[in-house]
Amino acid sequence: MKENLESHYGQLLGLESPWEVTSVELELENQKVEIRLEHAPSEPVSCPECGKHCSIHDHAPERTWRHLDTMQFETRLKARVPRCKCQDCGVKTVDVPWAGKHGRFTLMFEAFAIVVIRNASSIQAACELLKIHWSTADTIMKRAVERGMRRRGSEPIEHLGIDEKSFRSGHRYVSLLNDLKGGRVIDVAEGRDEQSAAKLFEGLTDLQRGKIRAIALDMWKAFINASKKACPGADLVHDRFHVAKHLGEAVDQVRRAEAKRLRGEGDDRLIGTRWSWLRNEENISDDKWSEFEVLRDSELKTGRAWSIKECFRWFWQPHLSRDEAEEYFFDKWYSWAIRSRLEPIKKVARMLKRHLPELLNWCEHHITNAVSEGLNSRIQTIKSAARGFRYFANYRTRILFFCGKLDLSPFSSAH
Ligand SMILES: [Zn+2]
């Protein structure tokens, strides 16, 4: 019976000679299973560095690996791993078939943990299910991301998006490079200056960089410069989300100044209306709409600013040719904006004019950071789940773990 149990565990672990299970101990009251493994002493081992066959020199102290639970029993493997004395490399601890070099878990446990972490509602929930500490989950994710990044292929990417995201209560930033079609994060770098952005492109091969057709980005000099240097052949496209954000901020500035002035005159029409002005027309609820319509059509500057902002949305119609977008739309919109006597609006209009060629590139590529925005909300979840990260490296690991579409499996992809 006992022998059967041992060979059964050997089979479960996929162990082949020269490794065998020598004992299986069951601790009923602690709900634990301990499996002892031994390497046949007469069998040769391979040097972990050069692969040469050597004889066993001695054994390293006993180590423990956490394995998949057996039913609800926490299961651990224990073994003294042989050390070989290689003529070229010296004394080395040999590799074991069930775990990575310094891993404290079997590959099967790690593979299972990755699936649980990916699918659990939070890292904390995954840790409870797996009965591991959060720092262990961090280590598993870190190793998984390193593996996945090493395995990344050099398949062509057509469209990239580059974006920024706040980090640590909004005082610092990270930059992200996204594969727009693939809906994945390519990499994350600390900061949002040109150097950080340049770092993002380093993960791509020369061939990949040469084949990028277009990059969606904000009118931010550091990102523009880095993109031009890394992918000189790609068109830059200033995308609608960023343009809308700049215009929205301009409307808000106009509103704030005007609300203050009106309040001084005892007029509180603009009090509490901030959110209505930030919304697009179709997102204002019916009961607010009539109220809003009155304000919009009044002599208020805020209403005028809002109309100029809303009108710019016509620019993004997909059927407009480059010439049409410029002559029939932009030129007219620009002169309206610039004669509006609304400083914040004029400022954004001038900025758009300065970046007009890249704005018009939209007519050829129709790309936006919309995908990035979707990824951003996932990243937001990651950020709030961890209540801000102390270290950038942990933040990057989690983003790439969840949004990098990496092959994270601890088994080589050939399996
Ligand atoms: Zn060797």
pLDDT of 271: 81
How confident is residue 1, by pLDDT bands cut at 50, 70 and 90? very low
Mean pLDDT of 120-144: 91
Distance 40 CA to ligand 1 centre (A): 20
What gap in Å lies between CA 312 and CA 392, rounded to an integer?
Answer: 37
Mean pLDDT of 135-153: 93
The share of the chain scoring above pLDDT 70, in percent, equals: 96
Report residues near ion ligand 1: CB below 5 Å.
47, 49-50, 52, 86, 88-89
pLDDT of 414: 44
Cis peptide before 18 (omega within 30 of 0): yes
pLDDT of 147: 93
pTM across the whole model: 0.84
pLDDT of 368: 86
DSSP state at residue 29: T
Dihedral angle sign, alpha carbons of residues 317, 323, 328, 330:
positive
Distance 83 CA to ligand 1 centre (A): 11
Decide if pLDDT at 206 tops 50.
yes
What gap in Å lies between CA 375 and CA 317, rounded to an integer?
Answer: 24
Decide if pLDDT at 415 tops 50.
no
Q: What's the pLDDT tens digit per position in 218-266?
A: 999 999 999 999 999 999 999 888 899 999 999 999 999 998 998 888 8
Sheet holding 82-86, edge to edge: 56-59, 82-86, 90-93
Query: Taking the CA atoms of the chain, what radius of gyration do you get in angstroms?
Result: 30
Decide if pLDDT at 9 tops 80.
no
**DSSP SS3 for 264:** helix
What gap in Å lies between CA 136 and CA 126, rounded to an integer?
Answer: 11
Distance 64 CA to ligand 1 centre (A): 25
Residue holding tokens 């509180």? 268
What gap in Å lies between CA 220 and CA 216, rounded to an integer?
Answer: 11
Distance 94 CA to ligand 1 centre (A): 10
- Answer whether 172's CB lies under 8 Å from 166's CB: yes
Distance 43 CA to ligand 1 centre (A): 17
Distance 84 CA to ligand 1 centre (A): 9
Decide if pLDDT at 79 tops 90.
yes
H or E stretch covering 38? strand 32-39
pLDDT of 388: 57
Q: What's the pLDDT tens digit per position in 359-411?
A: 999 999 999 887 666 777 788 788 777 665 678 888 899 999 999 999 999 88
Mean pLDDT of 139-163: 93
Distance 307 CA to ligand 1 centre (A): 74
What gap in Å lies between CA 345 and CA 9, rounded to an integer?
Answer: 72
* Cβ contacts of 101 within 8 Å, gap of 6 or more: 48, 95
Mean pLDDT of 57-84: 92
pLDDT of 351: 96
Q: Which two tokens stand for residue 71?
A: 């039913």
Question: Greater confidence, 117 or 170?
Answer: 117
Distance 82 CA to ligand 1 centre (A): 14
pLDDT of 3: 57
pLDDT of 371: 65
For residue 368, give Cα distances in angstroms to 102, 177, 180, 311. Answer: 43, 13, 8, 19
Q: Which two tokens stand for residue 200?
A: 């993002």
Q: Which two tokens stand for residue 174?
A: 């990270």
pLDDT of 413: 56
pLDDT of 298: 80
Distance 115 CA to ligand 1 centre (A): 35
Decide if pLDDT at 292 tops 60.
yes
